Amino acid sequence: MMRDVQSEPANHRVEVDKVGVKDVKYPIVVLDKAKKEQHTIADINMYVNLPHRFRGAHMSRFIEILNKHRGRMSMHNMEGLLCEIEKTLAADSAHLEMSFAYFIEKAAPISGAKSLTEYVCKFIAAHKKGKLDFILEVNVPVTSLCPCSKEISEQSAHNQRSLVTVQLKSTEFVWIEDVIALVENSASCELYSLLKREDEKYVTEKAYARPMFAEDVVREIAQKLEADDNVTWYTVASENYESIHNHNAYAYIEKKIPR
C-alpha cells in the first residue's frame, strides 16, 4: 500500500485558506441567449480550505470532479460541483473561478456587415456553510469621448477605447447578453469588429454626440443596476485607455450592502 502523504498531519498547526489548482484550460458550454448554448474554452481555478490536520490536498481530485461535471456551466449547477469538491477533499469551503471568451455576432450599424465580437466573462463561485455565493463578471469594450476635450476644442475631441467591467450577484439567472447591452447603451458608442466606411462615419458621429467621462459611464450603469430588483450586489469599473495621455483614466462603484 502506497503512503498517503497529503493526508498526514501538517508540520505546522496553521490552516490554509485556499489550496488547489490554477490555470486549468478546459472546454465548457455556456448558455447563449440567441443560440441556446455556446462552446468555448475556459481558464479554471479551483480551491478548498485546508485544515491543519491535512498536510496537503489531493490535486488530482479537482480534475476528476471537473471531468465528471463537464457540460453546461451556469449559476444553476455551480453548487453541485462545489459541494462535491468539498465532500471529496474533506473541506469546509470550496471556490471556483472560470474565465472564458464569449462571442456575439453583431451587425454593423449602417452596412449591416456581420462579425463576431469577443467579450471576456468570468464565473466566480464559493460554497461555505451550505451557502452558495455566485458572481457573474462581464468585460465589455466600448468607446468613450471626452466631454472636456469636446468643450474646449473647436473642431474635434479625443476619444479612446475603454473597458467596462461589471460584476453582479442576482436572485435569478442573468443573461450575459443583457449585461453587455446595458453597458454598451451606457457608453459613448459600442465597438464592432467589422466596420465599412459608412459605419465608421456613424460610430464616430455617435460618440461625438454623446461625450462621457469614465465617471459618467459607471454612474449610468450603476443607476440601471440599482433599478433592477433581481440584482442584489454589483461593482462597475471603467478604464479608459487614453489616446492623448501616458496613463489611463479609471472610475469604480460598488453597491453598498446594509449592515
Residue-wise pLDDT for 191-250, tens only, equals: 999 999 999 999 999 999 999 999 999 999 999 999 999 999 999 999 999 888 889 999
Contact 156, 75 (CB under 8 A): no
Q: Is the pLDDT of residue 58 over 60?
A: yes
Alpha helices in 117-252 (DSSP H): 147-152, 176-184, 197-209, 214-226
Give the three-state DSSP class for 240.
strand
Predicted confidence at residue 9, as pLDDT, reads: 54
Q: Is the pLDDT of residue 56 over 60?
A: no
Q: What are phi and psi of 62, to 5 degrees?
A: -60, -45
d(CA 146, CA 160): 8
Would you call 11 exposed, middle or buried from its count of C-beta atoms within 10 A (0-12, 13-18, 19+)? exposed
Average pLDDT value over all residues in the chain: 90
Residue type, 94: A
Give the three-state DSSP class for 11.
coil
Give the residue-averaged pLDDT of 57-64.
82
Say what percent of the chain tops pLDDT 90. Answer: 69
3-state helix, strand, coil in the chain (%, to 5): 25, 40, 35
- Does the global pTM surpass 0.75? yes
**What residue spans define the domains of the chain?**
16-254
Residue-wise pLDDT for 149-160, tens only, equals: 988 988 888 889
Predicted confidence at residue 55, as pLDDT, reads: 52
Grid cell for residue 218:
459607471
Contact 126, 143 (CB under 8 A): no
Give the residue-averaged pLDDT of 138-151.
93
Side-chain half-sphere exposure of 19, counting CA atoms within 13 A: 20
Which is it for the CA torsion 180, 186, 188, 189, positive or negative?
positive
Residue-wise pLDDT for 67-121, tens only, equals: 888 777 877 788 899 999 999 988 899 999 999 999 999 999 999 999 999 999 9
Grid cell for residue 148:
472636456
Give the residue-averaged pLDDT of 28-54.
88
Predicted confidence at residue 4, as pLDDT, reads: 47
Pick among 3.40.50.2300, 3.10.270.10, 3.40.50.720, 1.20.1440.230: CATH of 16-254:
3.10.270.10
d(CA 36, CA 75): 16
Beta bridge partners of 38: 30
Cell 459607471, located at residue: 218
pLDDT band at 17, cuts 50/70/90?
confident
Which is it for the CA torsion 162, 163, 167, 172, positive or negative?
positive
Q: Is the pLDDT of residue 13 over 70?
A: no
Predicted confidence at residue 5, as pLDDT, reads: 41
